[in-house]
């Protein structure tokens, strides 16, 4: 086997043991890496119904055959576990030197089992694994602990760490790296915290195995140059992802006031132009060709790294239109290790719930100072509000009652990203059928809907577009893993990625092979879901009720009176299921599973629930 190292490092925190395990070429070719590896490993090794925050849950860090090799945006790592937020498989990716360092240490994946009896961090150096005390970092934020690790282990070390939110098992705690990157939105940081694991530090000195190193080097260097040129030519990096904020405001897709509204006259105060004006530095991931992290001074003078999702959710979604104040909220989330999207959604939900009488409190939309206090309360699980909101919007809504779940802006428990889709049905579907809950990374089709379809259409072309993008964004790029931005934002050709993969592995794959592997990973995640929720229904793939509520429609502007329609959304969902080969519950049929070579996994899932 070439391209893969062929080894997984398995670490047990109960007894502080570790072992190096090999995997077969068949496993590698079937699951590729990243999300594929993680979803398969966790399906095989976790019993359904386990406590996601108990020692029986496992944390998987997964890479793939081009991870860490110099080529466009290959510095990505997938982190996964059973999610405490959603109750089934959850994952995320983040930029980190772990991508190259773990591969150089000789591993394509790391599995962390058990729970330490006191705070520890893992130090992995090639074939050596140490369980070191983390007392000096425990209770501290991610900036402190990252810096502490750099001082002790050097700045080239690959680092994954958590903040206080992870330690306190906040259900939307993330894992952080490089003092600016975050991943694992469905509470993967909380899983790490539940294991008393503050950080993972990795250094390797071996060669990453490649079938044709000379070709890989040539393709990689050409690719880095080309992707960078495309970015420079397009001007994308001027405003990075936050250029879309002004556009969302123009087309009534901005999340304002817990997604009650779709545009705001003060949106220009936090748009891409203002962000570019306020820029003091720019950051990216390893092997990045188009740095997306724009750093500004926040309200307290600290450096805060922003992009669209965190501005959208911590800004307009809570009616804060002061960029420095948004920067402060973002800084605190990053330091505490809170997911910025979920944090913004939870704050917006809380203000909404107070306004609608579902709970009592002194937080109002637009109160950035109180929001700062609340973020700490959440990260520390301090007080009643902090403890409840630390559970995420859906669980908080279930506690508050009074129909507040209708406006908890999530799907399957995972809060949705910064696009208000009550008049954008295709993107509402994309959130509804995202593999792990309301995530935007797998399919984003809003410009397709407006330019190449009709905004009001619920037709099969939108389901087809969602599937096409899921295969690329949630499949190809999550399996390799690599960042999708060069392709998705500046047009770096998709056909380059099989070339990289083939140079690394010696195989002869086409994009079509990746679509099969992507469909397999999606079906695998669906089987996770079915196993945990045997009574799964298609209603689980619906966005929140407030998007269907006429009383919540825009009262003026081009989308006045428009909301999603239940019957039409359901038919759009059926188009998606039909094209995917899923049954009426949204679960892959036996025929689909067989075509993907998932007979054994289907038999395992069938112990808990019926398959059609």
Partner 1 sequence: MKVTVKLIGPLIYEGGFSEKTLELPGPMTAGELSAFVKINRKRPTIITRNGKAIAAGERISEGDRVVISHIYSGG
- Residue ranges binding partner 1 (CB under 8 A): 234-236, 238-239, 241, 243-244, 246-247, 250-252, 272-273, 292, 307-309, 419, 440-441, 444, 446-447, 450-451, 455, 485, 488-489, 557-559
Nearer to partner 1, 152 or 454 (CB): 454
Token pair 């050409």 is found at 222
Considering only CA atoms, which of 126, 89, 122 is closest in space to residue 107?
126
Nearer to partner 1, 172 or 419 (CB): 419
Closest contact distance (angstroms) between CB of 89 and partner 1 is 23
Provide the b/e sequence for 342-377 (b: ≥16 CB within 10 Å). bbbbbbbbbbbbbeeebbeeebebebbebbbbbbbb
How far apart CA 498 and CA 208 sit, in angstroms, is: 18
How far apart CA 139 and CA 120 sit, in angstroms, is: 12
Nearer to partner 1, 111 or 472 (CB): 472
Pull the structure tokens for residue 53.
């925050």
Q: Are 164 and 189 in contact (CB under 8 A)?
A: no
Nearer to partner 1, 45 or 273 (CB): 273
Beta bridge partners, 78, equal: 62, 93
Q: Are 220 and 229 in contact (CB under 8 A)?
A: no
Closest contact distance (angstroms) between CB of 457 and partner 1 is 12
Token pair 């705070």 is found at 119
Nearer to partner 1, 114 or 315 (CB): 315
Nearer to partner 1, 57 or 239 (CB): 239
Nearer to partner 1, 494 or 611 (CB): 494
Closest contact distance (angstroms) between CB of 451 and partner 1 is 5
How far apart CA 299 and CA 323 sit, in angstroms, is: 8
**230: CB partners within 8 A, 6+ apart:** 486, 490, 491, 492
Closest contact distance (angstroms) between CB of 252 and partner 1 is 6
Q: What is the dihedral of CA 174, 175, 179, 181, to 10 degrees?
A: -70
Closest contact distance (angstroms) between CB of 229 and partner 1 is 14
Closest contact distance (angstroms) between CB of 524 and partner 1 is 24
How far apart CA 381 and CA 410 sit, in angstroms, is: 21
How far apart CA 390 and CA 412 sit, in angstroms, is: 16
Nearer to partner 1, 273 or 406 (CB): 273
Nearer to partner 1, 330 or 589 (CB): 330
Closest contact distance (angstroms) between CB of 279 and partner 1 is 14
Closest contact distance (angstroms) between CB of 469 and partner 1 is 9
Pull the structure tokens for residue 66.
């081009």
How far apart CA 387 and CA 383 sit, in angstroms, is: 6
Closest contact distance (angstroms) between CB of 416 and partner 1 is 12
């Amino acid at each position: 086997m070439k391209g893969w190292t062929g080894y997984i490092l398995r670490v047990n925190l109960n007894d502080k043991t570790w072992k190096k395990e090999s995997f077969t070429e068949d496993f590698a070719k079937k699951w590729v890496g990243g999300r594929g590896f993680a979803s398969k490993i966790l399906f095989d090794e976790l019993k359904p119904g386990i406590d996601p925050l108990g020692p029986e849950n496992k944390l998987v860090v997964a890479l793939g055959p081009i991870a860490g090799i110099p080529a466009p945006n290959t510095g990505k790592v997938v982190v996964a576990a059973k999610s405490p937020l959603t109750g089934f498989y959850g994952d995320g990716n983040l930029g980190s030197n772990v991508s190259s360092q773990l591969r150089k240490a000789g591993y394509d994946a790391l599995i962390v089992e058990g729970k330490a009896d006191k705070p520890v961090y893992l130090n992995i150096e090639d074939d050596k694994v140490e369980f070191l005390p983390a007392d000096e970092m425990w209770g501290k934020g991610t900036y402190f602990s990252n810096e502490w690790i750099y001082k002790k282990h050097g700045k080239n070390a690959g680092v994954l760490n958590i903040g206080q939110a992870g330690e306190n098992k906040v259900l939307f705690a993330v894992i952080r790296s490089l003092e600016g990157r975050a991943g694992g939105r469905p509470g993967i940081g909380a899983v790490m915290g539940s294991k008393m694991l503050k950080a993972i530090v990795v250094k390797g000195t071996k060669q990453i195995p490649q079938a044709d190193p000379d070709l890989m080097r040539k393709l990689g260097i050409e690719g880095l140059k080309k992707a960078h040129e495309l970015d420079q030519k397009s001007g994308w990096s001027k405003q990075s992802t936050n250029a879309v904020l002004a556009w969302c405001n123009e087309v009534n897709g901005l999340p304002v006031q817990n997604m009650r509204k779709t545009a705001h006259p003060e949106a220009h105060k936090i748009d891409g132009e203002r962000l570019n004006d306020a820029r003091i530095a720019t950051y990216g991931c390893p092997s990045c060709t188009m740095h997306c992290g724009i750093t500004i001074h926040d309200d307290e003078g600290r450096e805060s790294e922003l992009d669209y999702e965190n501005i959208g959710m911590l800004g307009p979604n809570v009616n804060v239109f002061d960029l420095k104040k948004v920067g402060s909220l973002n800084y605190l989330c990053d330091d505490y290790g809170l997911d910025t999207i979920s944090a913004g959604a939870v704050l917006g939900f809380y203000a909404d719930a107070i306004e609608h009488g579902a709970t009592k409190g002194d937080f109002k939309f637009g109160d950035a100072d109180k929001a700062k206090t609340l973020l700490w309360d959440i990260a520390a699980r301090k007080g009643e509000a902090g403890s409840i909101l630390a559970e995420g919007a859906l669980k908080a809504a279930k506690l508050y009652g009074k129909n507040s779940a209708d406006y908890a802006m999530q799907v399957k428990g995972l809060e949705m990203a910064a696009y208000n889709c009550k008049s954008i049905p295709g993107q509402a579907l994309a959130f509804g059928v995202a593999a792990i809950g309301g995530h935007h990374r797998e399919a984003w089709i809003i410009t397709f809907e407006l330019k190449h379809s009709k905004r009001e259409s619920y037709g099969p072309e939108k389901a087809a577009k969602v599937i096409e993008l899921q295969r690329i964004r949630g499949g190809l790029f999550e399996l390799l893993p690599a960042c999708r931005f060069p392709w998705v934002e500046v047009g770096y050709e998709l056909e380059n990625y099989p070339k990289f993969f083939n140079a690394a592995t010696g195989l002869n794959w086409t994009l079509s092979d990746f679509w099969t592997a992507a469909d397999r990973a999606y079906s695998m995640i669906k089987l996770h879901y079915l196993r945990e929720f045997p009574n799964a229904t298609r209603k689980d793939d619906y966005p929140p009720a407030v998007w269907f509520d006429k009383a919540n429609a825009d009262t003026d502007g081009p989308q006045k009176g428009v909301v999603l329609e239940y019957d039409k959304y359901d038919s759009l969902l059926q188009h998606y299921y039909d094209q995917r080969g899923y049954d009426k519950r949204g679960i892959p049929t036996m025929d689909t599973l067989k075509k993907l070579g998932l007979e054994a996994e289907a038999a395992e899932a069938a112990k808990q629930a019926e398959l059609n």
